[in-house]
């Protein structure tokens, strides 16, 4: 049976690029969406040309019941998950003093709770398999205390996601499970200009995909609990 990958937030952007890459590598892919159903269906039609058993799955991943329901469907259909990519995470560029309580909650929950709940949903079965990869998508600066005027909640959440990556890797390594993090700088659809970056451009989706392929390969067997920045020397706030 083909290996199965779940990519959260894969109807658009980076998640979409990751899903297509995994299909090219022979995976059956679960394309997750929350609001972008039509986009997810379009992607599924393309994906099924190479991976006919791939599916789409709906869920608000900050809601424990919806996470549980989504993964019950995935396991009922496939019986396993080999790779989980926690890609969901909203971004807000707004002064902290003007950030509302609901906006703060959304940024924190979408970036941290979603990864926590989805990881919990797969880890017990990965233990039984004695294998599995969880890849958390972070952000440049996630390893350090990064204070920026207009993205405070986002970096707080990514700092916490880095901590989650570390502790899960430590606890799950004995079961053959790898938990790593990829932290890109601003991506193609984000707010910066090319001249803002030391290497003259933002990170591309393909830059992130190449690192993901490495981390989930046998060549990276002894890499666990790592955070790899895909940032070209970019430092937030400089």
Which residues are designated catalytic?
154
What does each C-alpha distance from 195 to 91, 199, 202, 234 come to in angstroms? 22, 8, 9, 11
What does each C-alpha distance from 73 to 8, 55, 235 come to in angstroms? 15, 11, 41
Is residue 142 within 8 A of residue 227, CB to CB? The reply is yes
């Amino acid at each position: 049976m083909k290996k199965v990958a779940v990519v959260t937030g894969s109807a658009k952007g980076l998640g979409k690029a990751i899903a297509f890459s995994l299909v090219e590598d022979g995976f059956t892919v679960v394309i997750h969406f929350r609001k972008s159903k039509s986009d997810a269906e379009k992607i599924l039609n393309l994906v099924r040309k190479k991976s006919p058993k791939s599916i789409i799955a709906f869920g608000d991943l900050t809601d424990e019941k919806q996470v549980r329901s989504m993964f019950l469907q995935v396991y009922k259909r496939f019986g396993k998950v080999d790779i989980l990519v926690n890609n969901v995470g909203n971004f807000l560029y707004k002064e902290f003093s003007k950030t509302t309580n609901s906006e703060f909650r959304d940024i924190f929950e979408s970036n941290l709770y979603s990864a926590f709940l989805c990881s919990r949903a797969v880890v017990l079965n990965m233990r039984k398999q004695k294998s599995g990869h969880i890849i958390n998508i972070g952000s440049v600066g996630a390893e350090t205390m990064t204070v920026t005027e207009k993205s405070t909640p986002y970096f707080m959440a990514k700092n916490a996601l880095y901590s989650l990556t570390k502790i899960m890797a430590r606890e799950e390594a004995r079961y053959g499970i790898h938990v790593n993090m990829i932290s890109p700088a601003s991506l193609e659809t984000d707010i910066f200009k090319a001249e803002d970056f030391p290497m003259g451009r933002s990170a591309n989706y393909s830059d992130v995909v190449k690192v993901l392929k490495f981390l989930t390969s046998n060549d990276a067997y002894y890499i666990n609990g790592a955070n790899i920045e895909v940032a070209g020397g970019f430092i937030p706030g400089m």
